[in-house]
Structure 1
Amino acid sequence: MSRREAKTKAGKGLGILTDFCIACKLGIILVYLLSATGKDHPYLKGASLGQSAWVIMYGVLSSLGGSKSHPVSPRTSFSNYLAHTVYGVATASAIMALGDSNLFKPRYINLSNPTED
């Protein structure tokens, strides 16, 4: 999509829809991550996911030609990185506040106290 097309209402709507879809997918990944690894340090895990998403979207995909990355200032890149970090922390906070407690129950067998059959 050209810059001119992106500035139209349809272009902006498509951009918003795309951002929401990516945010939903990252939120689902974070729910699975917290469910599998436990709910200790949720903000660190959320920040790490947000930062990883930033690296993948702006580092890996742009080098593969998946997105056009125009030359931007370091200040712009850092603010984008910071926004992804805040997104991860906010998502982890929402998951911890709104998620069902069954999501975070441990699913492992305690080997220190085996039961006899």
Structure 2
Amino acid sequence: MKIKDRIILGVVSSLIAGIPIRLINDWQYHKGLTDVKYGQMAASLFLPKNKVNTPEAKFVAAATNHVNTGITGIIITYVLSATGRDKAMLKGMGVASTTWVIVYGLISRLAIPVKSKKPLSPVLSFMDHAFFGTFCGLLIPVFGHSSLFPDRKNVQKKDKLPLISTNTNCEK
């Protein structure tokens, strides 16, 4: 059964794609390649710096990361719905890389008090985000119904779901 809702598709795909990224980030942290985990940065948006390693902070961090990955997955889904599934992994990588610039470039300068002091951290973070977008771009066409994407020749025009629905009648 394929997913026909773009938002659900983006969230599901991004939650799955985020699992290896969290594991990779934990590994990088325990190997000393980076001195800050994504969860610590996420928790520091809402909690004082000295509380980012508490059990409560882990919940806040998980919620924040899931929201961020979910939004990124939804954006990738809409990009693929608008442009087609060709080069889906590259498109996903592009969206996630842009997200990395916004979150870790702009927002971190303004709001995140917990920052890495290791020069390799931003490089690893970029690579993690690029991999996340690539994996998410791979999963979305696998889980998504073909009517969501414009590149399917065998789908009749009447069967394709519009990118933005203006139909107020909820028959489907």
Would the TM-score normalized by the shorter structure come out above 0.5? yes
Other-structure match for 2:88 = 42
Runs of 4 or more off by more than 4 Å in structure 1? Answer: none
Other-structure match for 2:115 = 70
Other-structure match for 1:92 = 137
CA shift at 1:25, angstroms? 0.7
Structure index of larger Rg: 1
Percent identical pairs in the alignment equals 28
Residues 92-113 of structure 1, C-alpha deviations (whole Å, 9 max, x = no match): 1110110110011257xxxxxx
Contact 2:96 2:132 in 1 (8 A): yes
CA distance in 2, matches of 1:104, 1:31: 9
TM (norm. structure 2) is: 0.57
- Give the alignment partner of residue 65 of structure 2, picking from 16, 19, 35: 19
* Paired residue total: 106
Residues 38-61 of structure 1, C-alpha deviations (whole Å, 9 max, x = no match): 111101101111110110011111
Between 1:54-63 and 1:44-53, the stretch displaced more is: 54-63
Root-mean-square deviation (CA), in Å?
Answer: 1.6
- Any unmatched runs of 5+ in structure 2? 1-46, 152-161, 163-172
Q: In the superposition, relative to structure 1, how do residues 98 and 71 fare at CA in structure 2: closer, same or farther (>3 Å)? A: closer
